[in-house]
Amino acid sequence: MKDRLRQHFLNFAATAGLGFILAIVPFSPVVAEGTFHPPDLVDIPQGPFKMGSDGDEREAAYQLDEAAYGHNVTRKRGWYDNEPQSVVTLDRFQITTTPITNHAYAAFLQETGHPLPHVSKEQWQRYGLIHPFERAMPYIWPSNRPPAGRETHPVVMVSFEDARAYARWLGKKTDHLWRLPTEAEWEKAARGDKGFHFPWGNEFEPQLLNSHDSGPFTTMPVGSFPAGASPYGLLDAAGQVFEWTSTMAGNNRRIVKGGSWDDRGCGVCRPAAHHGRPETIKHILIGFRLVRQ
């Protein structure tokens, strides 16, 4: 009952723009050893929404990046050029309020023996990422328990198939069907039906998300920025970690959404940003949330 009342309040407050109230009543996930709690959900109503971006939004995103980084690499590479705007109509669905946490993922590992969020140095180097292996080490699980102090942080170092395996396990635990959201579902939940540039509106406000602009340059406990909620009450939809979706992005690649703690600017943190990653990658910047049917 407390969870339901809290969620009704969160949804109401986010829709009403009561950011000052949300800031003093933060989301706080329950963490108790040996217990199982299904993820909290927000309800996304049936209906149309604006997906993608127009020229003004893309130009604003490029300018944010240029101001943050001091160069125009994202503009030159056309990072945001493939975001055609359209009106998309979706059926009603429910989606987890935050990304899945390390604590929640640990219950899955302990019950199933599924492979850990872990990569070797050689595997990490084969990814060809700009992040050195030393930066990945704090996120690697040495056992089926989360790295110390990160229990309520979003789980990362999980591939697309790892996320789907968790969804199947959660389905057996709850007698519901769980799955990764489509890109359209994720985007509507993150920006509302009016096509906001960011979950909270059209202006970038670095104090409302975990990004490299003002964050600690690592993951944080989920729900740390309640005033940055989407119109439906979705939390951590900008910054924090990219999130897997079920939408294809070419051969063996999937769309990831949301930007991360590593990004500045933060053009790529917009819900409209359209970015693909290989399904098999286990990245320090990628986690996931789920839809329940």
Q: HSE (CB half, 13 Å, CA atoms) of 102? A: 27
Q: What is the pLDDT of residue 20?
A: 33
48: part of which helix (H) or strand (E)?
strand 47-51
Q: What does each of the 293 residues of the chain score in pLDDT, given as a tens digit?
A: 334 434 444 444 444 444 333 333 334 343 444 467 899 999 999 999 999 999 999 999 999 999 999 999 999 999 999 999 999 999 999 999 999 999 999 999 999 999 999 999 999 999 999 999 999 999 999 999 999 999 999 999 999 999 999 999 999 999 999 999 999 999 999 999 999 999 999 999 999 999 999 989 999 999 999 999 999 999 999 999 999 999 999 899 999 999 999 999 899 999 999 999 999 999 999 999 999 98
CATH H-level, domain 2-292: superfamily: paralog of FGE (formylglycine-generating enzyme) (3.90.1580.10)
Say what the pTM is.
Answer: 0.88
Cα 245 from Cα 109, distance rounded (Å): 21
Q: What is the pLDDT of residue 250?
A: 87
Cα 123 from Cα 29, distance rounded (Å): 33
Of 233, 214, 170, 207, give the one whose Cα is nearest residue 27. 233
Cα 274 from Cα 132, distance rounded (Å): 25
Largest CA distance in the chain: 51
Q: Where are the domains of the chain?
A: 2-292
Output the DSSP codes for 79-144. Answer: TTS----EEEEE--EEEESSPPBHHHHHHHHHHH-PPPS---HHHHHHHT-SS-HHHHGGG--SSS
Could you tell me how many helices (H) and strands (E) the chain has, helices first? 9, 10
> Which residues on neighbouring strands pair with residue 201, listed in sequence order?
198
With tokens 């070797």, the residue in question is 120
